[in-house]
């Protein structure tokens, strides 16, 4: 799969939940059952570990050995030393078939170098964050990081398509880092969106990009869907395919809190979090125009195109100031 075009922290800590089991009143039969279960789990863990070791070794002994220049050195160091969950995800999506898994890994890491995948937001324009187009904030009730996307801010501009794709992939990369083995959740706020904001081509690109982040996306929550947009939801499900369409849930405000604690939800969506979603991450300091050379774009064209986002920047800032407590910002 190739998702190339024609051209080349803000989050809260994720704390693991702790479950305690009290066995003081177990009968002998209960103990035997638990022991059997533990033995089975141990065997499964050993089998999984064996598969992970085999996949990692096969990848480096074949694909990497034959084409070392096709892979990023930082990626390769990470794959050698990474927690096993990365390879377990590829095994899961390939039904534990080691040959398919190794091929999927090779395809993914070749793509990561050629795209290329960036590991932080230092090469994303500040305007993306200033208009609150999408941002990572807090965790859901399963401890997964949450990506919020405000669909009304999306403007289809052909000249900026490659730049927009880069931002999407960088965001997926950051979510994968934060989510680790838990994955991540997406909240799509469709309030105020119209037909001009519907971009099925970008949805398709996102689905294609997720091919390289297997088992990462766990839930899609869509809120505030206008009547005009509802007819497009079946098309979105179709593009998502069987792998992801079952994860998509259209929810109201109350149902959103069934998935995410109110304390983790920004106030503009009815939550209690005083989070300023218009502030770029600390590493993001350059404008899209300053980054235009990375995408072989004419700075003048970028400057003109970015002006279309200025109303969204003003609107986002006003929304923040209307809904948050300025004395306790980013809580």
Write the pLDDT tens digit of every residue in 149-197.
Answer: 999 999 888 889 999 999 999 999 999 999 999 999 999 999 999 888 8
Q: Provide the number of structural domains found in the chain.
A: 2
Residue 318 lies in a domain: yes
Q: How far apart are CA 186 and CA 233, in angstroms?
A: 16
Q: How confident is the model at residue 125 (pLDDT cuts 50, 70, 90)?
A: very high
- Is the separation of the CB atoms in 112 and 212 below 8 Å? yes
Q: What percent of the chain has pLDDT over 70?
A: 84
> Does 64 score more than 70 pLDDT?
yes
Least confident range from 5-14, 88-97, 122-131, 279-288: namely 5-14
Last residue of a domain, which of 114, 138, 173?
114
> Does 8 score more than 60 pLDDT?
no
Last residue of a domain, which of 73, 94, 114?
114
CA-nearest of 230, 150, 217, 153 to 190 is 150
CA-nearest of 46, 51, 144 to 89 is 51
The residue range of the domain holding 40 is 28-114
- Please check whether residues 100 and 137 belong to one and the same domain: no
Distance of CA 226 to the CA centre of its chain: 24
Distance of CA 9 to the CA centre of its chain: 13
Q: How confident is the model at residue 13 (pLDDT cuts 50, 70, 90)?
A: very low
Instruction: Provide the pLDDT for residue 328.
Output: 57
Residue 11 lies in a domain: no
Q: How confident is the model at residue 16 (pLDDT cuts 50, 70, 90)?
A: very low
Instruction: Provide the pLDDT for residue 45.
Output: 60
- Please check whether residues 138 and 202 belong to one and the same domain: yes
- Please check whether residues 264 and 179 belong to one and the same domain: yes
Q: How confident is the model at residue 131 (pLDDT cuts 50, 70, 90)?
A: very high
Segments in 215-309 forming alpha helices (H): 233-244, 253-259, 299-306
- Please check whether residues 155 and 285 belong to one and the same domain: yes
> Does 6 score more than 60 pLDDT?
no
> Does 9 score more than 50 pLDDT?
no
pLDDT in tens, 49-59: 899 999 999 99
């Amino acid at each position: 799969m190739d998702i190339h075009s024609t051209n080349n922290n803000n989050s809260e800590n994720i704390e693991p939940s702790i479950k305690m089991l009290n066995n003081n009143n177990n009968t002998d039969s209960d103990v035997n059952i638990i022991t059997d279960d533990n033995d089975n789990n141990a065997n499964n863990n050993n089998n999984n570990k064996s598969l992970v070791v085999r996949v990692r070794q096969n990848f480096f002994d074949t694909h990497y050995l034959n084409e070392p220049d096709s892979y990023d050195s930082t990626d390769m160091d990470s794959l050698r030393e990474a927690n096993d969950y990365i390879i377990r995800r590829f095994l899961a999506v390939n039904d534990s078939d080691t040959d398919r898994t190794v091929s999927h890994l090779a395809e993914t890491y070749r793509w990561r170098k050629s795209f290329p995948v960036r590991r932080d937001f230092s090469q994303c324009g500040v305007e993306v964050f200033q208009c609150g187009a999408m941002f990572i904030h807090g965790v859901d009730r399963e401890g997964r990081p949450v990506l919020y996307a405000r669909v009304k801010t999306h403007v289809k501009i052909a000249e900026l398509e490659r730049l927009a794709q880069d931002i999407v992939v960088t965001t997926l990369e950051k979510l994968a880092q934060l989510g680790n083995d838990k994955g991540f959740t997406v909240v799509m706020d469709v309030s105020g969106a119209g037909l001009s904001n519907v971009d099925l081509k970008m949805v398709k690109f996102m689905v294609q990009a997720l091919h390289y982040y297997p088992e990462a996306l766990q839930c899609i929550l869509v809120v505030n869907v206008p009547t005009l947009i509802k007819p497009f939801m079946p098309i979105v499900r179709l593009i998502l395919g069987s792998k992801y369409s079952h994860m998509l849930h259209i929810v109201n405000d109350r149902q959103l809190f069934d998935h995410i604690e109110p304390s983790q939800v920004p106030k503009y969506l009815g939550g209690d979090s005083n989070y300023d979603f218009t502030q770029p991450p600390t590493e993001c300091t350059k404008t899209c125009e300053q980054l235009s050379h990375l995408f072989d774009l004419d700075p003048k064209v970028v400057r003109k195109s970015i002006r279309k986002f200025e109303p969204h920047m003003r609107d986002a800032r006003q929304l923040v100031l209307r809904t948050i407590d300025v004395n306790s910002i980013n809580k």
